Amino acid sequence: MPLTSGKGHEALRRGRWSQSGAEYFLTLCTKLRQEALTTPTLLAAISDQLSRLEAEQIWHVRTVTIMPDHIHLLVGLGETTELSGAIRLFKGRLSPELRASGLKWEHGYFDHRIRADEDRLPIFLYIFLNPYRKNYLAAAQTWPGYLCATEDWAWFGEMTNSACPYPAWLA
């Protein structure tokens, strides 16, 4: 049955495949796209949970942008947990902090498994540029909700304009 025959998230889940060690581009949204993920309290909680899951070898975070109503991540999945389990841990552990801010997670998530031969640069650029393209800040400012693994920042950071996008990237 084709993916488009189901409704909503059911259709997305039908084609989902979890593979240890594979990299995934993920998008997680708040319910009704309510905005508050970028408050200092939630930014800290999200960053802590990203680090905690990395320490538990659930995933390896390559790059993340935390937007007011959603999160974009590029992660490498660990050996012990399927993708759905990793997302369940991440969302579940953050749910008390979200509820305290009047938020809930949207059911489901978007995922795209990255093929071995797929270029990562467009994904890094999409994640990095998202707040700029949404006009949340000027090109000369840095987004407080952007995180990048040290080894990835070594090459990707060199491409940026001192941790900011070049104006041509936003045209």
pLDDT of residue 171: 85
Contacts 24+ apart (CB under 8 A), 138-143: 139/164, 139/165, 139/166, 139/167, 139/170, 140/164, 143/65
Please determine, for residue 47, whether its predicted confidence score (pLDDT) is greater than 90. yes
Read off the pTM: 0.88
Please determine, for residue 17, whether its predicted confidence score (pLDDT) is greater than 90. no
Higher pLDDT, 13 or 119: 119
* Residue 114 confidence class, pLDDT cut points 50, 70, 90: very high
For residues 28-37, average pLDDT: 96
C-alpha distance across the termini of the chain, in Å = 40
Please determine, for residue 170, whether its predicted confidence score (pLDDT) is greater than 50. yes
**Amino acid letter at 52?**
R
Distance CA 141, CA 138 (A): 6
pLDDT of residue 15: 52
Residue 12: burial class (beta carbons within 10 Å; 0-12, 13-18, 19+) = middle
* Residue 16 confidence class, pLDDT cut points 50, 70, 90: low
